[in-house]
Amino acid sequence: MEKQLFNEQLALEGGEKTVQTTFSWPIFDETEVQAVAEIVRSGRWGNPDCGEFVEAFEQEFAAYCGTKYAVSCVNGSVSLRLALMACGVRPGDEVIVPPYTFIATASTVLEVNCVPVFVDIDPDTYNLDPKAVEAAITERTKVIIPVHFAGLACDMDAILDIARRHNLRVIEDAAHAHGAEYKGRKLGSIGDVGSFSFQSSKNLTSGEGGIVVTNDDELYRMMASLRNVGRLDGHQWYDHFNPGCNYRITQLQAVLLSHQLKRLEEQTVLRNRNGRYLTELLSEIEGITPLSQTPDDVRHCYHLYIFKYNAPAFSGLSRKDFVARLAAEGVPCSTGYPHPLYKQPLFQNRNFLCYAIPETVDYSTVDCPVAERACRDEAVWIFQHAMLGSRDDMQAFADAIRKIQRIVTQS
C-alpha cells in the first residue's frame, strides 16, 4: 500500500487531502422544516402549560431511555443543576466529578453551593476510576456524577455499589451518551437521574436544550417544579412552592427533537460500527492507541472517537502539529481540553463570586495525573459527525494518519 513516496505532500502544505468527504451536522430534511413551519403558523410557540409538543417529546425520550419520566429544560447545564437541587444537596456538600469533562459538570456543582471533588480517570477509558472514587469519599460526600465520556459507559456496577454502601446519589452526566448502552440499559437510565444536553455539537440536538430522566417519583416532581418557576401541578399559575426558574424549552425545539430522535437509533448503530472498525485499523499503527475496545454488553455511541498519540513514533512531531496536519487531510479532529478542569482560573483563583464554597477548599494542590496526561500529551478526538461516514471514510482516516507518519519519519 506504500504509494508515491517521492512526491507525496501533506494537505497542510498544498498536497491532496486524503479524506474527500465533507461531514455535515446537524442532519435534517424537509420533515423537520415542515414540522417547525407548522408550529410557526399555529402561533403556539411557547409553552404556557408546557405545550403538547414538549410533553410529547418528553414521553418519547423517556420511552427511548426506558425511564418513567423525562423533564426537558433549556440546556444540559441546567439539567445537571435541576438534578443536584432535587437530590437535596446542602451548602458545603461534596460532589465527586471527573476533571476530564466539560466545565458544566463541575460549575453546576458550584451553582448549588457545593464543592466539586475531582477524582482521576481510568487511563484505558478516560472515565471516572471507581477505586479513586471510593478513596475520595468523606462524610460530606452526597453525590457522584459519572460522565459517560465520549459516549462510553462508566463502570456503573462499581459506581452504584459504592453509592449504595455510602448512601450517595448518582447523577449520570450523559451529555455525550444519547443512545449508548450499558448491559442492555440506556445510559442515563441507570443512576438516580440521567442528564442530557441537546446543544449543537451533541448526538441529538435542537441547537440548545437539555433533559433529565428518572424513575423516581419524588425527584421527577421536584425537577418538574424547579424547571417551571417552582410551580406544582394542580395549583394556580401564580402559586410558587419551590425556588426554581423558567427553564422551559419552546415547542419549536421540542418538535425538532421529536424528529431528530427518530434518526438517533440508526445514527448510533452507524457510529458504533464505524468506531469498532476504526479501532481495528488504528490499532495497527505504531504510536496510535485507541482507547480500549468496549465489551460486547456496552454500546459506545462515539460522541467522540478518542485515541492516544505517541509523538516518538512520529519523529517527535508535537500533538498540536499532528492534529493540524490531520485536520488538513480532512479528518474533523481536535486535541480536546487543554487542562483538567481544576486548572481553570475559576478554581485556581477561587472566582466563586456569590457561591458559598468553604475557605478551606483549595484546588491549587489537586493533581490527577491521568487527566493531566490526556490533556497535555495524549488525547486526539475525532468528532461524532465524522463517525457517520462510510467504511471507506474510516479507512481514509487511517490512511491520513499513515501518510503523516510516512512523511514526518522520512524527512
Our answer to whether residue 259 is catalytic in this structure is no
How far apart are alpha carbons 325 and 17 in whole angstroms?
Answer: 10
> What is the rounded distance in angstroms from the CA atom of residue 289 to the CA atom of residue 3?
24
- Least distance to ligand PLP, CB of residue 208, Å: 6
User: At 245, phi and psi to the nearest 5?
Assistant: -135, 180
Task: Write down the catalytic residue from 182, 199, 271, 383.
Answer: 199
Cα–Cα dist 96/119, whole Å: 7
Q: Is 303 a known active-site residue?
A: no
Q: Is 102 one of the catalytic residues?
A: yes
Query: Of 176 and 299, which has the nearer Cβ to ligand PLP?
Result: 176
Q: Nearest residue to ligand PLP, using CB?
A: 76
Shorter beta-carbon distance to ligand PLP: residue 10 or 152: 152
Of 142, 231, 271, 402, catalytic: 231
- DSSP state letters, 250-312: PHHHHHHHHHHHHHHHHHHHHHHHHHHHHHHHHTTSTTEEESPPPPTTEE---SEEEEEE-GG
Q: What is the CA radius of gyration of the chain?
A: 22
Is 68 considered catalytic here? no
**Distance of closest approach, residue 366 Cβ to ligand PLP, in angstroms:** 19
* 248 among known catalytic residues: yes
Q: By C-beta, is 23 or 102 nearer to ligand PLP?
A: 102
The nearest distance, CB 325 to ligand PLP, in angstroms, is 26
- Is the Cβ–Cβ distance between 311 and 408 less than 8 Å? no
CA distance 11 to 6: 15
Q: Which residues bind ligand PLP (CB under 6 A)?
A: 75-77, 101-102, 104-105, 147, 173, 175-176, 197, 199, 210
Q: How many helices (H) and strands (E) does the chain have?
A: 12, 14
**At closest approach, how far in Å is the CB of 236 from ligand PLP?**
31
Q: Which is nearer to ligand PLP, 105 or 384 (CB)?
A: 105
Residue 350 catalytic? no
Tell me the catalytic residues. 102, 173, 176, 199, 202, 231, 238, 248
